[in-house]
Amino acid sequence: MTSTPTQDDVRIAKNLADLVRTLDLGVPVELWTGERIGDSQGPAVRIAHAEALSRLVFKPKVETLVGLWMDKSIDIVGGSFLDLADRRGSKGRSRGAWKRIDKIGLARLLPALWRTRKGAADTGLAQAGADAGASGSTKQAIQYHYDVSNRFYELFLDKRMVYSCAYFDGWHGDIDKAQEDKLEMICRKLRLGAGDRFLDIGCGWGALLIHAASRHGVIGHGVTLSKAQFDLATRRVREAGLEDRVTIELKPFQELTGTFDKIASIGMFEHVGFAHHDEYFGAVRKLLRPRGLYLHHAITRPAKKNLKTFHKGSREYRAITRYIFPGGELDYIGHSLERLEAHRFEVHDVENWREHYGRTCRIWAERLHENFEAAAAEAGEPVARLWLLYLAGCALAFERGTVMINQTLVSKRDKGPSGLPPTRADLYA
């Protein structure tokens, strides 16, 4: 807003500055009046106008905060979201803030805030076009997330466009190397060999199929529900000269037929949803030969004391599954293993890659921040800002352990030997 501040604006700014100082959150705040509360250097949260505060006070929801971020009513100046989080560290005291706040000072704010309230709390979210009612496993939901544009994803992903957790042999920043190492680790865990019939469920832009066919000689098949991914993946297969070894279809997993020696699902299971878990594992079992290997790579949340609490999730989690992954649901690893065993799979290995995904998301967020102008031109500024917030939030969630990711290797249960070697030493040689 560029209009001259009203008396209410000035009164709100003064009282807000007093309240922020009492909270000691460890985050500098810059007000629409130009006043800065907290450290004079480094990144700060900027509140663009008094209306932003009134919208948040009278509709205190995560959705309101996200909408304010998307339309730049709340912004970060002097750095990125991750810069601010790193600078804050453990300095701030957000826990117990309500007890420390000056309740009388807050009450003084309310009349002026009410007069500035205009009720447009979800402006940014409306521009994002999210469909809160979509199911995570439908073509509509998949295309909402993945068909933003291929160019948009190119701005922050690696050169192969692998949109899942990378694998780091050290905490370096080379995302191209880390994603190639991840593709190779998947192939090693699946013991891929020449002539293996290999299925990639949710194949994305085709990186794993191309790697497996060119490096390990498999006959690969992949499926996706994203038209943008399908178009680019098929083009990349053709450019790699692998059309005789790799095929890709635009279809749901429910329609797959045939028999495969090895199957991978890398970052797809999150879209399936609890109501379809049994349907999904049943389909994988039907497609896999006896003692065939299946690699299940999926984000999870820590288990709670009961299912009701688990399914409720945090407000942040509910916002992500509404505005980023419509209809998506994260499992907990114990439940995934239970359902795999119920569908007669033998579990061989479970590996936690949480810190690897934290590093991956941090690199993605930094790259998107660096290329933000191009991203905004491609997808629109509100959507680009939403993805900035999402990737940075994911980085912090994985780093802090509020979400996990596991790679689980199983085989279709059968009598006799599993066919796996006695140790896993060769995987890490």
Tell me the CATH number at 332: 3.40.50.150
Q: Tell whether 304 and 171 lie within a shared domain.
A: yes
Q: Considering just the CA atoms, what is the radius of gyration of the chain in Å? A: 24
pLDDT, position 126:
46
At residue 91, what are phi and psi to the nearest 5 degrees?
-70, -40
In a domain, 130, yes or no: no
Q: Tell whether 82 and 193 lie within a shared domain.
A: no
pLDDT, position 60:
79
Any catalytic annotation for residue 394? yes
In a domain, 408, yes or no: yes
Q: Tell whether 57 and 119 lie within a shared domain.
A: yes
Q: Tell whether 117 and 163 lie within a shared domain.
A: no
Q: Tell whether 100 and 236 lie within a shared domain.
A: no
The one-letter amino acid code at 306 reads: N
Which of 76, 97, 125 finishes a domain?
Answer: 125
Which of 74, 102, 125 finishes a domain?
Answer: 125
pLDDT, position 363:
98
pLDDT, position 115:
74
pLDDT, position 129:
45
In a domain, 73, yes or no: yes
Q: Tell whether 197 and 288 lie within a shared domain.
A: yes
In a domain, 329, yes or no: yes
**How far is Cα 326 from Cα 330, in angstroms, rounded to an integer?**
12
Number of domains in the chain: 2
In a domain, 417, yes or no: yes
**How far is Cα 244 from Cα 364, in angstroms, rounded to an integer?**
33
Q: Tell whether 145 and 117 lie within a shared domain.
A: no
**How far is Cα 362 from Cα 404, in angstroms, rounded to an integer?**
15
pLDDT, position 128:
47
In a domain, 1, yes or no: no
CA terminus-to-terminus distance, the chain: 59
Which of 125, 157, 187 finishes a domain?
Answer: 125
The one-letter amino acid code at 242 reads: L
Q: Tell whether 157 and 85 lie within a shared domain.
A: no
β-strand pairing of 74-77 with 44-47: antiparallel
Ranges of residues in the chain with a pLDDT under 70 are 1-5, 7-8, 18-25, 89-106, 117-147, 313-327
**How far is Cα 385 from Cα 251, in angstroms, rounded to an integer?**
31
Q: Tell whether 41 and 173 lie within a shared domain.
A: no
CB 190 within 8 Å of CB 349: no
pLDDT, position 119:
47
In a domain, 2, yes or no: no
Q: Tell whether 75 and 163 lie within a shared domain.
A: no
Q: Using one digit for the tens of pLDDT, what is the confidence trace for 41-74?
A: 889 999 888 888 788 778 878 888 888 998 899 9
Q: Tell whether 144 and 120 lie within a shared domain.
A: no
In a domain, 320, yes or no: yes
pTM to 2 decimals?
Answer: 0.88
Q: Tell whether 237 and 364 lie within a shared domain.
A: yes
Supply the range of the domain harboring residue 38: 7-125
